[in-house]
Amino acid sequence: MLILAVDTSTMVGGVALIDRGVLVGEHILNVRATHSERLMSAVNATLSGADVVPGDLDAIACGIGPGSFTGVRIGVAAAKGMSYALEVPLVGVSALDALAYGHSPGFSEVWSMIDARHERCYSACYKPSSRLRAATRISEYSVRPLSEILKVAGADGGRVLFTGDGALAYSGDLLSALPDRGVVPPAALGILRPAQVGMLGMEMLERGEGGDPARVMPMYLRPTEAEVKFSRKETR
């Protein structure tokens, strides 16, 4: 199965090409530029570099967030357009699930954390798989204050991995809270990679999940600023 994975949930936008579980190519840019300006050029570069044409693709995996509202919309819309045009299945992959993918069972917990600003993170807690594949989520997806994560992480006494740009942003607090048991990877290894979206998407497709692009929707976890302002106006 040849899968194209795209993710624009965070500032790290990227594309990956997965062929039967093997990473063929990956294009990542961690720069402050609009995803709409660089996503399709990254798709073209990744496919052409692997001597693949769009018609060769068997499926598309798309990161659905949470993260940047605008970024998520761009990625989901682009993935849906390609899925419809190529008539291939589309699977939506949670960015939090993807961040937890493939980590060592030597950790008792993996916390996926995407920065939501103001000392809050989109987050979820996972138990790593013994096969270095999809982790098991053991908490709700939520927008949590950093203080809440610090309070509950590592309660079982085991080693805890914090990953994602939220973990990188608040690494000092996390490591201070668990000085002997907390781990935050180096910046280059703590970002969300499109390869993780693709590998997890492949597992989901093998389980019969996904397929219909109409059913793939962004995961926001909190209302947009426009919705908040509208709600305030309605309650006056």
Give residue 193's pLDDT band: very low, low, confident or very high (50, 70, 90): very high
What's CA 177's distance to the chain center, in Å?
25
pTM metric for this prediction? 0.93
216: left (phi over 0), alpha (psi -120 to 50) or beta: beta
Give residue 28's pLDDT band: very low, low, confident or very high (50, 70, 90): very high
The CATH number of whichever domain residue 87 belongs to comes to: 3.30.420.40
* 114 shares its domain with 196: no
Per-residue model confidence (pLDDT) at position 60: 98
* 119 shares its domain with 159: yes
Per-residue model confidence (pLDDT) at position 236: 58
* 45 shares its domain with 115: no
Per-residue model confidence (pLDDT) at position 223: 76
Q: What whole-number distance in Å separates Cα of residue 139 and Cα of residue 19? A: 31
Q: What whole-number distance in Å separates Cα of residue 14 and Cα of residue 195? A: 9
Per-residue model confidence (pLDDT) at position 35: 78
Give residue 232's pLDDT band: very low, low, confident or very high (50, 70, 90): low
* 120 shares its domain with 175: yes
Give residue 29's pLDDT band: very low, low, confident or very high (50, 70, 90): confident
Residue 235 has pLDDT above 60, yes or no: no
Residue 175 has pLDDT above 90, yes or no: yes
* 127 shares its domain with 201: no
Per-residue model confidence (pLDDT) at position 114: 97
Per-residue model confidence (pLDDT) at position 233: 60
- For the chain, give the mean pLDDT: 93
The total domain count for the chain is 2
Per-residue model confidence (pLDDT) at position 226: 57
* 217 shares its domain with 108: no
Give residue 38's pLDDT band: very low, low, confident or very high (50, 70, 90): confident
Residue 122: domain span: 100-183
* 206 shares its domain with 178: no
Q: What whole-number distance in Å separates Cα of residue 225 and Cα of residue 227? A: 5
Per-residue model confidence (pLDDT) at position 30: 79
Domain-terminating residue out of 158, 183, 208? 183
Per 3-state DSSP, the chain is made up of helix, strand and coil in percentages (nearest 5) of 35, 25, 40
* 175 shares its domain with 220: no
Residues 67-74: what's their mean pLDDT? 92
* 132 shares its domain with 211: no
* 199 shares its domain with 87: yes
- The predicted-structure confidence for 116-149, as pLDDT tens digits, reads as follows 999 999 999 999 998 889 999 999 999 999 999 9
* 67 shares its domain with 177: no
The CATH number of whichever domain residue 131 belongs to comes to: 3.30.420.200
* 83 shares its domain with 200: yes
Task: Please give the single-letter amino acid code of residue 62.
Answer: C
Q: What whole-number distance in Å separates Cα of residue 166 and Cα of residue 173? A: 11
